[in-house]
Amino acid sequence: MFRPVRTFNTACVYYHRFRLVHVDTEYGFMDAATAALFTACKIEDTLKKSREILCAAYNQKITSAEHVSQDDPMFDNPSKAIVGLERLMLEASGFDYRSRYPQKLLLKLSKYYHLDRDTVGKTAYNMSLDLYRTFAPLKQTTSTMAIACVELAGRLHERNVQELEAGKGFKKWRTSRAEVMGRYCLKVVWNSSAYKPAETLLDLLDLYTHHRTQTTVGQEYPIETFIAIRITLNQEAAANDYPRYTNSVKKRSLTNGTKTANGTKDTRSAKSPLSPQDTLVSDGKSSVTLSLEAAAGARVRAGLKEGTVRFMLDPERARDEKMIVAEYFKIEEEEYEVEVEREKRRG
């Protein structure tokens, strides 16, 4: 597709937000990914048609001799599903069009700490792309993600940056060592002290340890290297009594106070950042069919008709516009009395 990296970043963020709102069985992950990229192209002003994105995704699965064009009729129904999912993408994101691009700051940090551009810099840049396979972009700031990628790349190439590991100069980048490594970070919320952990480095190491074959950097280094770095960070965290996760919300019991039987567990577990398998459901429907039905069902549930949907965020403006439009749909009736002479019947 040859889209800029900012489009890729925005698409990944919308994809993660979409999966946090909608269950995996309601939409095919390929349709969700395509809709996320289609939405990101519009937001970043790098426009691409939905048929072009679908065609590129299809051609990746077949040989070059079997490639098809975007005008093929097979893309008619999927393209309609993608347009329908675009609205759900915006709803899932809360109409938040902001995104983070750590790549630009990452290059500045590499130059600031005098790191080799072809080794550490290139690895850190690839890590910034792999980072969007996790939920870290939804939790962290741009500077936090950039510093975490630079530090981990330096550890891989044995070019440890002592200033980064010690947390020096973080005030300049509006972050802290806590947000980079996964330690406590003091934050004032409603005049009370709460501790916010931000585990960017540990999220990356989890990705390279458990799903290294699906990443760019993970395949270039043995798994023992990532495990050794993870052990070092765990020892540092254990020495200072830093937890991996805090600020977690406990789920309410679904048994109304009674104990559950042995072997039962809550199936509504947290979703992983990895995509589910795109398989057929029990009734044999494909992911495209599910997306079409779900998109249509969402419109029916919302009481909307086919066509363009406008979202009004200002309630006063929506009320004024509704009053203006209502004048054109107002039914007015008038009654008239007319005298009509009746013709006399001929005898």
Reported confidence tier of residue 215, pLDDT bands at 50, 70, 90: very high
Q: How many helices (H) and strands (E) does the chain have?
A: 14, 2
Reported confidence tier of residue 41, pLDDT bands at 50, 70, 90: very high
pTM above 0.75, yes or no: no
Two tokens, residue 252: 């309410």
3-class SS of residue 294 = helix
Measured distance CA(287)–CA(89) in Å, rounded: 17
- Among 129-133, 189-193, 216-220, 307-311, where is mean pLDDT lowest? 189-193
Beta-sheet strands, E only, within the chain:
186-189, 192-195
Measured distance CA(294)–CA(274) in Å, rounded: 22
Name residue 327's amino acid.
E
Name residue 21's amino acid.
V
Residue 223 has a CB neighbour count (10 Å cut-off) of 12
Position 3 pLDDT exceeds 70? yes
Q: Sort strands 192-195 and 186-189 into parallel, antiparallel or unpaired.
A: antiparallel
Q: pLDDT tens digits, residue range 251-275?
A: 555 555 555 444 444 444 444 455 4
